[in-house]
């Protein structure tokens, strides 16, 4: 079943890039949560998450992003979102949390956010 594919890459400067492909819902959100938790345990709090191929996010998925952003900001890091689809932007705006994430249109612009 097409669900959620994650491509994870750590840069030499310690920034973690995550590419998401698929959907993020109440069934698979823990997959992404586990990725954040793993990197937090290693002391990484700067993430660039490409959500341009994320077709759907439910509240469970949005909650992962909000919780992770909170942890990152507590450690002077953050989560930069790359090119959110209208669906992703919409749910974050509905929940009133869209503005807590730096958003860029191209991946190359993300590094400048740190």
Partner 1 sequence: MLVSSQGTSRVMPSVQPQICFPARSQLLEKIRSFCQENLRGHITDKGLHRKLVLAIDEAVANVIEHGFKRRNDGEETTIELSLSVKPDRVRVRIRDTGLPFDPRKRMEAGDADLNARHDSIPDRSHRGYGLQLIRLIMDEIDYERTPKGENILQLTKHLKRD
For position 75 contacting partner 1 by CB under 8 A, the verdict is: no
- List, in sequence order, every residue forming a beta bridge with 104; answer none if it has no partner: 82
Binding partner 1 by CB under 8 A: which of 15, 24, 49, 62?
Answer: 62
* Helix or strand (DSSP H, E) at 74: helix 59-74
Binding partner 1 by CB under 8 A: which of 13, 41, 76, 99?
Answer: 99
Decide if 97 contacts 68 (C-beta within 8 A): no
How many residues contact partner 1, by CB under 8 A? Answer: 29
In this structure, the chain runs to a length of 114
For position 33 contacting partner 1 by CB under 8 A, the verdict is: no
What's the distance, CA 114 to chain centroid? Answer: 15
Which C-beta is closer to partner 1: that of 23 or that of 114?
A: 23
Decide if 107 contacts 48 (C-beta within 8 A): yes
Positions that interact with partner 1 (CB under 8 A)? 1-3, 23, 25-27, 56, 58-60, 62-64, 66-67, 69-71, 73, 87, 90-91, 94-97, 99-100
């Amino acid at each position: 079943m097409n669900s959620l594919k994650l491509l994870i890459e750590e840069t030499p400067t310690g920034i973690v890039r995550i590419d998401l492909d698929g959907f993020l819902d109440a069934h698979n959100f823990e997959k992404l949560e586990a990725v954040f938790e793993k990197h937090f345990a290693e002391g990484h709090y700067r993430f660039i998450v490409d959500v341009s191929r994320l077709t759907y996010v439910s509240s469970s998925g949005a909650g992962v992003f909000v919780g992770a952003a909170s942890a990152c900001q507590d450690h002077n890091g953050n989560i930069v979102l790359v090119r959110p689809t209208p669906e992703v932007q919409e749910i974050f705006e509905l929940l009133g949390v869209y503005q807590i994430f730096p958003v860029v249109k191209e991946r190359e612009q993300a590094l400048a956010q740190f």
